[in-house]
Amino acid sequence: LPVCKSLISSNGHLWKQQRRFALSTLKYFGVGRKSLEHAILDEFTYSGKNISDLKGKPFNPHVIINNAVSNIICSLVFGHRFEYEDERFIKLIKRFDSALQILYNAFPLLMRCLPGPHQTVQQFWSEVKDMIRSEIEEHKKDWNPAEPRDYIDCYLTEIQMVSDSRKKSTFSEENLVMCTLDLFVAGSETTSTTLRWAFLYMAKYPEIQEKVQAEIDRVIGHSRQPSMMDRANLPYTDAVIHEIQRMGNIVPLSLHHSTNRDIQLGDYTIPKGVVIIPNLTSVLFDKREWETPYTFNPEHFLNEEGKFVKRAAFIPFSAGKRVCLGENLARMEIFLFFTSFMQRFTFSMPAGTKPVLDYCFGVTLAPAPYEICATLRQE
Residue range 203-245, pLDDT digits in tens = 999 999 999 999 999 999 999 999 999 999 999 999 999 999 9
Q: What are phi and psi of 269, to 5 degrees?
A: -105, 120
Domain residue spans in the chain? 12-376
Query: Domain spanning 12-376 has what CATH number?
Result: 1.10.630.10
3-state SS assignment for residue 25? helix
Q: What is the DSSP string of 138-175?
A: HHHHT--TTS--SHHHHHHHHHHHHHHHT---S--HHH
Burial of 257 (0-12, 13-18, 19+ CB in 10 A): middle
Q: What is the pLDDT of residue 141?
A: 95
43: left (phi over 0), alpha (psi -120 to 50) or beta: alpha
Q: What is the pLDDT of residue 4?
A: 47
> What whole-number distance in Å separates Cα of residue 363 and Cα of residue 361?
7
Q: How many CB atoms lie within 10 A of CB 126?
A: 12
**Rg (the chain; Cα; Å):** 21
> What whole-number distance in Å separates Cα of residue 191 and Cα of residue 195?
6
Q: What is the pLDDT of residue 245?
A: 98
> Mean pLDDT for the chain?
90
Sign of the torsion angle spanned by Cα atoms 315, 316, 317, 318: positive
Q: Are 15 and 23 in contact (CB under 8 A)?
A: no
Which segments in the chain show pLDDT lower than 50?
A: 1-4, 104-106
- Letter string b/e over residues 310-335, b meaning 16 or more CB atoms within 10 A of that residue's CB: eeebbbbbbeeebebbbbbbbbbbbb
Q: Are 275 and 258 in contact (CB under 8 A)?
A: yes
